[in-house]
Structure 1
Amino acid sequence: METGGFHKIKIDPFDKGFDMGMAKPLSRSVRLNGFSTCLRLEQIYWNILTEIARINTCSVSALLSYVDREVHLRYGGVKNFSGLVRVVCVVHVLKGRAAAASADTLAQ
């Protein structure tokens, strides 16, 4: 349904406490397998990486080194490492939602 030239959507991403600060890009120096580099990601992705690192009891740099090493070993590398990191973060969030939905289904 279009109103005023815009499509009306059912789920408004800006509803209830949306924090525009999470979209702010933040550059951090990280070490990837011994090499120092700068990675620029939005704050929300740094938050997710911190969560993944905590779950794996390692630092964010260690986590990113693992991702870098594995993408080289398994796929011969990647042209856009920042993009890969964003995808890793989204997959982590989606897996968490799927696990929560599965647990809810089992509890019923």
Structure 2
Amino acid sequence: MARLSGRDVSEVARFPDIRNDPFVREFDMGLVCPLSRSVRLNGFATCLRLERVYWDILADMARLNDCSVSALLSYVDREVHLRHGGVKNFSGLVRVVCVVHSLSEGGHHPR
């Protein structure tokens, strides 16, 4: 657990009132727990470590596409190579794909 020094406390005191609390009622801290899962990406076995919330979103995306999470991730892996020549941080890409999906489902459009 992080401890606040006297300076940190004074900095926190300067924050404006937060009107929309990011810790929504019934916030599930379990969603923060990282989980490592073995997946096959286009035939190659690998391990992917993501927080549970992202695995939940991926499961929903796979359900919407009537495929497995591995098939969905294989598609993302293949498309990022075809469209952009690859990516250095595949886990980061997957997190962003999940956030963009969630925003589009809620009617929000990222820049």
Identify the TM-score tier after normalising by the shorter chain.
Answer: 0.7 to 0.9
Query: In structure 1, how many angstroms separate the alpha carbons of the residues matched to 2:100 and 2:54?
Result: 12
Match of 1:97 in 2: 106
**Aligned mate of 2:67, from 39, 44, 58:** 58
TM-score in terms of structure 2 length? 0.83
RMSD of aligned residue pairs (Cα, Å): 1.7
- Runs of 4 or more consecutive aligned structure 1 residues displaced over 2 Å after TM superposition: none
Q: How does 1:81-92 map to 2 (within 5 A)?
A: 81-92=90-101
Structure 1: tracts of 5 or more residues without a match: 100-108
Q: Please state if 1:15 is matched with 2:19.
A: no
**Aligned mate of 1:5, from 13, 22, 26:** 13
TM-score in terms of structure 1 length? 0.85
Q: Which amino acid aligns with 2:64?
A: I
Match of 1:44 in 2: 53
- Once the 2 structures are TM-superposed, how far is the Cα of residue 15 of structure 1 from its aligned partner? 2.9
Match of 1:104 in 2: none
Q: Which has the higher helix share?
A: 1
Q: Please state if 1:31 is matched with 2:40.
A: yes
Q: Which has the higher strand share?
A: 1
Match of 1:80 in 2: 89
Structure 2: tracts of 5 or more residues without a match: 1-9
Query: In structure 2, how many angstroms separate the alpha carbons of the residues matched to 1:46 and 1:71?
Result: 19
Q: Percent identity?
A: 68
* Secondary structure of 1:11 counterpart: coil
State the number of aligned residues. Answer: 98
* Secondary structure of 1:98 counterpart: coil
